[in-house]
Each structure stands twice: as structure tokens, then as C-alpha cells.
């Protein structure tokens, strides 16, 4: 843990100097002098096949009919491909509503975390104020407390302020997270303090120094925190399951879970189509930000 | 985690009787920045944590929701009741089973994949990395939908493949002896991507020089792994095993949507039993169990820190 500030300091320079360079062709392997081994490619490809097979099967299955999905032995390629499952999700079931709910919750939660966690993270890393140490210790202590501990009283609280079955009830408990503060603090500790002094000498106000100098520099850290928060919120299941009590407030995972366990005769094609739709947005987010995200994990202090 | 010297100097200035204008401005600005987080944190994290602690020593039921101060304090009764509850014990056993078998499997897979990607190959790394990470970014509900199919007794893909090599596959989710292996298989598949990426980052920080030196001294690949890679990777292993075990001790979503704890409570976990008691309205009892989970996590984490940090 003591090496974290050092690690985070490399983030800024590494990603700003060569954002598009391939980290894969790292010097570690090159200087190792070992040729790539063909048999490793074979093993890795087989493993990749096993890992990815369920996804391929899921996507293909979403185009099958109920009859084909119950067929034994199971088929791989759809015999008579149909879009019926997808059409039904959005016509007979209320999937567009769930999609909107999931998106609103994930976007607001992510925005809140990026804003509030970077503000406190900056204050803890760069500024001096009364109660700073105590505040840091309390926030870090709760980082270790598992979610199930606060689950019951959080539910009571949200029920008492009348937010059960509402989008604010889904959003508010996740708007800030100790993990985000830790991540952002570690990142800011790695930036040079001279920037702060320079800003002060130029007569900029404290808040202006934060918004005009430090925030624009924290792209990599914000990207990592943003992606992790978005993924977490999009896939969050337990809290929406208890809070979203009426159908019009369901998020995608809740709807999918209830359709997969609740019905007497499960429509498997619908489930597989629904599961495919749940994955698409996170897959898109991940594909776009993949490199920054993995670099971020390696260097922002999660390690 | 220690404060740097300039900060320490500033703080002395801030504590003097007449703080400088700059110091006062800095303090005000800091609290303006801290305030939104603190307000939300106080209401939605700190207060529930403390209330949960209070609830755990009371007989709070769901009917007491609107009159929280009318409940009776029962001391440690909830805790002793939990520890002597046969279902809770079964849940403890299942959770230990999941952690002790599932975690080495997950981390072993992750390390093997990371080593292969780091040292073994040069091309298509990004493709393999993305493929291996794909299950992590997927909603557990979507994963469950697919895996319930894969694990089906007669027509499931896994038993079909086993049938090709003449093995009569078990009724994975229907047989109490095979339900946990089924869930562990799924969980390892789903979760090894995160530790893999962290291992990859750790491996890249091992200086190539050390390997060169060991090679010149005539160390075999296995010896180099044992005496160079593993010791250099120790902090990464500590981080990965701590975070993975914290996640695995809270084993919950997999059994909830795959088996609902069945058959015959063979997959019920402590988190899940806590959640079920909460559903029954036994808030005090559920809160005490959630604190037992917290204690278990704290103990396991402390043990890992001792084992991995001191035995250098």
C-alpha cells in the first residue's frame, strides 16, 4: 500500500504521453529474449473457447424458438433463426422501461461518484483542514464493512423517508462510495504540489485551482472510477430487487431475475434475449475504454 | 498514507491562534469540497452502520419499522441464537466450502492465465485479455440464465460434452452433493478475470533483470518462478487474496438466483441466510448475523496479512 502514490504518479505521464501506444509490446517480454510458443497459443485459444462459449451460445440461443431450446441434444446453430424474442421483449414485456431505469440510475450514480469523490479526494490529498485525519480514517474504516451489514437499516431508512419503489431510492445510497475517495486521493497525491502553489501565486481561488488545474489532469483516474462505478451500478441486483417493488421501477437485472424464476413455464428464448441486451451496453463501454481501464487498474492504486 | 512534510507544516500554521488568511481560506475550501460527500456518507453509510449495530442487540422486527425506539434490548441473544442455529451452521459450512475450494481455483486460474499472457505469447494479448475479462463485466443474472442451461442434467451443454467422452454427468443443481461444485465452477469461470488483470500488472513490475540473473546462475523456469516471481509478487498476491476472499465470504448472488439455497440447504450461504431472515422481518437477528460476517471477514483478512506479509 505504501507504493501507491508512486504508482499513481506514473499514470498521468504514461497515459498523457502515449495514450494510443500498445502496452502489450512491453519491454519485459522483448528483453526476455524468449520466442512466443505456439503450444501456448493452442492452450490459450482452447481456454478462450471455453470461457466465451457460454456467451456465444447465449446470443445464438436468443434467436431460437422455445421448442428448439428444449430440444435434446441441444443445438448450437439456430435451425430457424427468429427475431421474435427481441420483439416480444419490447412489445409484450416492458423492456424499454427497464432499460431507461437502468440507464438513469447508472448515469446519475456514476456522475455523483465522479464529482463528490474527486472533490473529497482532492481535499484529503492537497489541502489542510481541521478534522482531516479523523475524516479520512472514518471513511476508510467503512471501506471494509460488507454491504450486508448496512442492508437492513438502509432499507428501514429509505422506507421511512418514503423512497421505496422510486428511482431516488435506487440512486441515493450509491451516490458516494469510500472506494472512490481512496482511488481519487491516491491519484491526487501523485500529482505535483507545485501546481497548487503556482495557482496560489497567480492569485487563483482554492476552488478555481481545483476545477481549472487539477480536475483536467485527472482524466485517467476519473475514467477508471467512472467505468467501475458504471459497471457496478448497471449490474447491481440486490438493492434494486428489494427497493423496486413495482414493475415500472425494475432495472434490467431485476426484471431478468424475476422473469427467470417467477413464471411457471419459463420462456427461455426471452430470457436469453434479455440477457444479451443486459450485456450489450457494458460491453460497449468496456470496448471503448478498455485500454484506459486496464491501465488504470494497473496504475491508479487498485493494485 | 502518512502526511507529507509541507502538509504537516501547514497544519501547524492552521492550529496557531490566528490562522493566516490563506490557511483559513484553505480550510473553508476543503470543507466546501468535502461537504456533499460527507452529508451523503453520514446519512446512507455511517448512520446505517451504527443503527445496524444497535439493531443486532435488540429484538427488532419489521413491525417496529415506524417506532424504532420501542424495541427491547436483548444483549447478545441474537448472536448466540445464530451460532446455535442449525441452518446458520450449515450456511457457515457452505460458505467455508465455497471459499476454501473456490478461491484457490479462481486465483490459480488467474495466475496461470496472467503468466501465459505476460511471458508466453506476444500477439493477440488484447484479444485473450478481453475474452477472459468478459464474464466479469456481465451481470450475474445474465450469467445465471446461461449457466442454468449449461448445468442441466439431461440436455445441458456440459453433460453433453461429458457424454462425448463417456462420462455420465451428474444432476448438477438438483443433487445436494453436486450443487456446490456446480456453483464453484461457475463462480471461478466468472471471477478469474479481475485477479488476472491485477496479476498481469504485478508481473510487469517484476524487473526482467532478476530473471536474467537467475538464468545465468542456471535456475530452471520452475525455480525462477518459485524464487523470483512469487516473492516479487507477494504484495499483489496479498491484495488479490484479500479482496477475493472478502467477496467470496459474502457469497450470495450465485446461490440466490441459481438454486435459492437448495436443494436441501446445500447451497445456502451466511449472507443468503441473513438476507432471508431480513425477508422474514427478523431485523435484529439478521443484523447480528451481518456483524458475524463482518467479524469473519476481519479475522480472515488479519490472518492473510500475517501469513503473507511476515513470512518473507
A274 touches chain B (CB under 8 A): yes
Q: How far apart are CA A226 and CA A293, in angstroms?
A: 9
pTM (2 decimals)?
0.82
Q: How far apart are CA A71 and CA B156, in angstroms?
A: 10
**What residues 53-82 of chain A have any CB closer than 8 A to a CB of chain B?**
53-55, 57-58, 61, 70-74
**Residue range B31-51: mean pLDDT, rounded:** 94
Chain B contacts of A58, Cβ < 8 Å? 142, 145-146
The least confident of A177-181, A183-187, B38-42 is: A183-187
Q: How far apart are CA A99 and CA A101, in angstroms?
A: 5
- At residue B232, does pLDDT exceed 50? yes
Mutate to test the interface with B, among A149, A199, A203 (most CBs of B within 10 A): A149
Cβ neighbours around B17 below 10 Å, total: 4
Q: How far apart are CA A159 and CA A169, in angstroms?
A: 9
Question: Which of A1, A72, A119 lies closest to B36 in CB terms?
Answer: A119
Q: Residue B165 carries which DSSP code? A: T
Q: How far apart are CA B246 and CA B120, in angstroms?
A: 31
| Reported ipTM | 0.81
Subunit contact B30:A172, Cβ cutoff 8 A? no
List, for residues A5-53, the tens digit of each pLDDT value: 323 333 333 333 333 334 443 434 443 445 567 888 999 999 999 899 8
In this prediction, residue A28 carries a pLDDT of: 40
Q: Which residue of chain A comes nearest to B45, CA vs CA?
A: A150
Q: How many CA atoms lie within 13 A of A264 on its CB side?
A: 0
In this prediction, residue A262 carries a pLDDT of: 60
Q: How far apart are CA A249 and CA A246, in angstroms?
A: 6
Using the structure block, give the residue that is written with the C-alpha cell 471503448: A288
Q: How far apart are CA B283 and CA B66, in angstroms?
A: 13
In this prediction, residue A19 carries a pLDDT of: 36
**What residues 152-211 of chain A have any CB closer than 8 A to a CB of chain B?**
152-157, 159-160, 172-173, 175-176, 178, 181, 193, 200, 205-207, 210
Alpha carbon distances (Å) from B289 to A235, B85, B119, B275, B294: 25, 11, 45, 10, 9
In this prediction, residue B62 carries a pLDDT of: 77
Subunit contact A36:B123, Cβ cutoff 8 A? yes
* Number of residues in chain A: 303
Size of interface A-B (CB pairs under 8 A): 312
In this prediction, residue A288 carries a pLDDT of: 83
User: Rounded to a whole number, what is the distance in Å from the CA of A116 to chain B's nearest CA?
Assistant: 5
List, for residues A169-182, the tens digit of each pLDDT value: 999 999 999 989 98
Amino acid at each position: 500500500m505504501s507504493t501507491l502514490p508512486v504508482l499513481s504518479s506514473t499514470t498521468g505521464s504514461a497515459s498523457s504521453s502515449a495514450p494510443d501506444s500498445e502496452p502489450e509490446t512491453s519491454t519485459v517480454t522483448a528483453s526476455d529474449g524468449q520466442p512466443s510458443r505456439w503450444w501456448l497459443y493452442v492452450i490459450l485459444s482452447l481456454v478462450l473457447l471455453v470461457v466465451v462459449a457460454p456467451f456465444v451460445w447465449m446470443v445464438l440461443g436468443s434467436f431460437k424458438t422455445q421448442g428448439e431450446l428444449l430440444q435434446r441434444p441441444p443445438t448450437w446453430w439456430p435451425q430457424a433463426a427468429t427475431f421474435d424474442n427481441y420483439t416480444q421483449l419490447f412489445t409484450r414485456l416492458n423492456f424499454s422501461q427497464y432499460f431507461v431505469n437502468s440507464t438513469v440510475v447508472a448515469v446519475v450514480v456514476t456522475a455523483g461518484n465522479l464529482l463528490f469523490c474527486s472533490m473529497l479526494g482532492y481535499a484529503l490529498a492537497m489541502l489542510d483542514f481541521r478534522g482531516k485525519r479523523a475524516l479520512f480514517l472514518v471513511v476508510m474504516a467503512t471501506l471494509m464493512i460488507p454491504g450486508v451489514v448496512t442492508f437492513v437499516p438502509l432499507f428501514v431508512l429509505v422506507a421511512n423517508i418514503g423512497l421505496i419503489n422510486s428511482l431516488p431510492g435506487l440512486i441515493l445510497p450509491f451516490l458516494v462510495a469510500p472506494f472512490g475517495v481512496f482511488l481519487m486521493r491516491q491519484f491526487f497525491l501523485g500529482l505535483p504540489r507545485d501546481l497548487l502553489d503556482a495557482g496560489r501565486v497567480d492569485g487563483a481561488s482554492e476552488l478555481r485551482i481545483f476545477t481549472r488545474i487539477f480536475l483536467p489532469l485527472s482524466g485517467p483516474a476519473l475514467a477508471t472510477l467512472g467505468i467501475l462505478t458504471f459497471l457496478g451500478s448497471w449490474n447491481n441486483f440486490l438493492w434494486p430487487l428489494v427497493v423496486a417493488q413495482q414493475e415500472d421501477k425494475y432495472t434490467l437485472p431485476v426484471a431478468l431475475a424475476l422473469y427467470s424464476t417467477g413464471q411457471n413455464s419459463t420462456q427461455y428464448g426471452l430470457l436469453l434475449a434479455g440477457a444479451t441486451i443486459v450485456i450489450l451496453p457494458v460491453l460497449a463501454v468496456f470496448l471503448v475504454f478498455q485500454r484506459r481501464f486496464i491501465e488504470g487498474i494497473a496504475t491508479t492504486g487498485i493494485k | 498514507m502518512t502526511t507529507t512534510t509541507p502538509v504537516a507544516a501547514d497544519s501547524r500554521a492552521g492550529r496557531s491562534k490566528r490562522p493566516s488568511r490563506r490557511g483559513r481560506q484553505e480550510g473553508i475550501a476543503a470543507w466546501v469540497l468535502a461537504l456533499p460527500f460527507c452529508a451523503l456518507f453520514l446519512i446512507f453509510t455511517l448512520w446505517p452502520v451504527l443503527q445496524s449495530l444497535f439493531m443486532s442487540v435488540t429484538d427488532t422486527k419489521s413491525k417496529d419499522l415506524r417506532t424504532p425506539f420501542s424495541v427491547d434490548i436483548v444483549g447478545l441473544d441474537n448472536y448466540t441464537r445464530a451460532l446455535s442455529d442449525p441452518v446458520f451452521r450449515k450456511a457457515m459450512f457452505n460458505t467455508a466450502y465455497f471459499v476454501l475450494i473456490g478461491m484457490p481455483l479462481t486465483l490459480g486460474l488467474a495466475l496461470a492465465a496472467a503468466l501465459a499472457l505476460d511471458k508466453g505469447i506476444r500477439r493477440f494479448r488484447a484479444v485473450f485479455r478481453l475474452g477472459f475479462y468478459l464474464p466479469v463485466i456481465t451481470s450475474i443474472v445474465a450469467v445465471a440464465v446461461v449457466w442454468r442451461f449449461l448445468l442441466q442434467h439431461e440436455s445441458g451443454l456440459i453433460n453433453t460434452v461429458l457424454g462425448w467422452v463417456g462420462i455420465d454427468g451428474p444432476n448438477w443443481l438438483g443433487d445436494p452433493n453436486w450443487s456446490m461444485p456446480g456453483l464453484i465452477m461457475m463462480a471461478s469461470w466468472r471471477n478469474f478475470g479481475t485477479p488476472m488483470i491485477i496479476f498481469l500488472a504485478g508481473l510487469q513490475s517484476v524487473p526482467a533483470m532478476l530473471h536474467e540473473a537467475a538464468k545465468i546462475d542456471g535456475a530452471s523456469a520452475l525455480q525462477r518462478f518459485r524464487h523470483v516471481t512469487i516473492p516479487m509478487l507477494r504484495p499483489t498476491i496479498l491484495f488479490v487474496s484479500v479482496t477475493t476472499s472478502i467477496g467470496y465470504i459474502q457469497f450470495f448472488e450465485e446461490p440466490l438466483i441459481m438454486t435459492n439455497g437448495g436443494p436441501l440447504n446445500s447451497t445456502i450461504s451466511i449472507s443468503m441466510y441473513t438476507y432471508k431472515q431480513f425477508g422474514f422481518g427478523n431485523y435484529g437477528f439478521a443484523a447480528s448475523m451481518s456483524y458475524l460476517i463482518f467479524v469473519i471477514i476481519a479475522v480472515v483478512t488479519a490472518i492473510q496479512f500475517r501469513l503473507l506479509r511476515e513470512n518473507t
